[in-house]
Structure 1
Amino acid sequence: MPEYRRILLDGAAVQATVEGDELVAGDGRRVKTEDAQHLPPVVPSKVIAVHLNHRSRVDEFRIDLPDTPTYFHKPTSSLNSHKGAIVRPAGCKWLNYEGEVAIVIGKTARNIAPAEAGEYIAGYTIANDYGLHDFRDTDAGSMLRVKGSDTLCPLGPGLVTDWDFRGKSLRTYVNGEAVQDGSTDEMKWDMHYLVADIARTITLYPGDVLLSGTPANSRPVQPGDVVEVEVEGLGRLTNHIVTGPTAVRTDVGAQPTESEEVLSTALGGDWEFRGIRPPKR
């Protein structure tokens, strides 16, 4: 399966093809994959994410899925890359990982049927849909700051074409320990359905990204942690967590909170009823 990556090479953003342990630019220049400075593999006009899709995640929260999916938007300013730093603002505590498969649009899509959607998909990459749950109480369901804050949408390492999304494993690791273990087969709505659903009223352009949902066991991570998302056939997306140099301003807007909803979401549902206490900071 062909894989393409965007990297910074001698100061310029270029697309390179993966050949063994090297990345080859269009002009023939080569760089070792491990030495390359990665960029997000695509430049989307928008990033749209489904709220809940994996059965294990739904079971974890002991809820019922609606008959059709619901979505939220991540601004493009949240984009990040393979090996990029994920910034948890100073004063915030509840930053969660969410390993996912990302769908990348290949040609303009509008008002298409699910059976046609595959023709409009360029390929797939890996995403980690980080959530800053300190702002969950103040976002009124929009998820704007929770999921859209700077650096919280790493994609990569590359764009893989001709990848069959069916029956693929998805695992997330924190400091080498497996913390999420799921499969694309546990998704209620597959990739084609999601593309067709969004394209009914929102035109999707080449490079646009749809995030397809995460399995159970999204939990908080701390500065210094290394988080990796591995998807069968797509590779492994690696990022590390850092503390932002400044706290969220206190002279404007709602401030981070630690309500029962914040803690319950960050810690996976009914934590207080299972004897799970918030981790020490």
Structure 2
Amino acid sequence: MKHARVVYEGRAQHAVERDGRLLLDDGRLVSEDTVTWLPPLAATPRPRTILALGLNYADHAKELAFKAPEEPLVFIKGEGTLTGHRQFTRRPVGVQFMHYECELTVVVGRTAKKVQRADAYDFIAGYTIANDYAIRDYLENWYRPNLRVKNRDGCTPLGPWLVDAADIADPMALALQTTVNGEVTQSGNTRDMIFDVPFLIEYFSNFMTLQPGDLILTGTPDGVVDCRSGDVVVTRIEGLGELFNTIE
């Protein structure tokens, strides 16, 4: 099932996709273009921790002239970075290079501590799409992004849907694609991750407790380009939908 969180007539509601429309919790069936989209996360529990992977695709590491990492390169993001489908993300004045990052995002479903790789999928509620914008101007070190690179308000559109884990047969075989103003600029597949989803669940839960609502952004393949004010960026992942965002 595809879940969303939207504002309709001034009220935030959970919704599910129904034949190309949205079935709201109050029973009304409305068009997707009549709502304001929020990140597709339950009101509670809210994300406690947002973990994001750097250089988790070998082609992207090569694109940036880095050696592929031997263990996960991870940074933490604040909840204020998240925004919804069809929202705007600001490009700061004077910036020379701001690029998208299409990322499969894991939503933790239950408390996970010292989980074995073989059991990892049992702890996942579902999957969504993140577009984790980065500003290279502020980048001091690819291994430890400056806060202004990845933790600006509204810099990470998320959505449009949270798709139940049971509806994704193999999250490690999903095609990814990004278009800017309709032109394909990035193509990849989750099978090319250096550290796959089961590995990451095992890795993180070995030294920290993952809680329901926590997010894991799993990195992006190569093909990032500079995005300018007015650009419409669409990040797509097979089975998860299309996440629209406009640069302002």
Give the TM bin, normalised by the shorter chain: over 0.9
Secondary structure at the counterpart of residue 209 of structure 2:
coil
Which of 42, 46, 50 matches 2:53?
Answer: 50
In the alignment, the residues of structure 2 paired with residue 107 and residue 200 of structure 1 have an alpha-carbon distance, to the nearest angstrom, of 15
- Paired letter, 2:59: S
Which of 70, 78, 82 matches 2:81?
Answer: 78
Show the counterpart of 2:240. 234
1:106/1:122 contact within 8 Å kept: yes
Aligned residues: 241
What are structure 2's unaligned runs of at least 5 residues? none
Deviation of 1:140 after TM superposition, in Å, equals 8.5
Secondary structure at the counterpart of residue 106 of structure 2:
strand
Show the counterpart of 1:5. 4
Change (3 A) 1:131 1:25: same
2:62/2:68 contact within 8 Å kept: no
In the alignment, the residues of structure 1 paired with residue 106 and residue 208 of structure 2 have an alpha-carbon distance, to the nearest angstrom, of 15
1:8/1:36 contact within 8 Å kept: yes
- Paired letter, 2:50: V
CA RMSD of aligned residues (A): 1.6
Secondary structure at the counterpart of residue 7 of structure 1:
strand
Q: Deviations over 1:217-257 (max 9, x none)?
A: 11210000000001110000000000xxxxxxxxxxxxxxx
The normalised TM-score by structure 1 is: 0.82
In the alignment, the residues of structure 2 paired with residue 93 and residue 241 of structure 1 have an alpha-carbon distance, to the nearest angstrom, of 14
In the alignment, the residues of structure 2 paired with residue 90 and residue 138 of structure 1 have an alpha-carbon distance, to the nearest angstrom, of 22
Secondary structure at the counterpart of residue 91 of structure 2:
strand
Show the counterpart of 1:32. 31
In the alignment, the residues of structure 1 paired with residue 19 and residue 192 of structure 2 have an alpha-carbon distance, to the nearest angstrom, of 32
Q: Which moved more, 1:155-164 or 1:136-145?
A: 136-145
2:172/2:197 contact within 8 Å kept: no
Q: Deviations over 1:100-129 (max 9, x none)?
A: 111111111121111111111000000101
Which of 86, 90, 94 matches 2:93?
Answer: 90
Show the counterpart of 1:143. 146
Q: Which moved more, 1:9-18 or 1:180-189?
A: 9-18
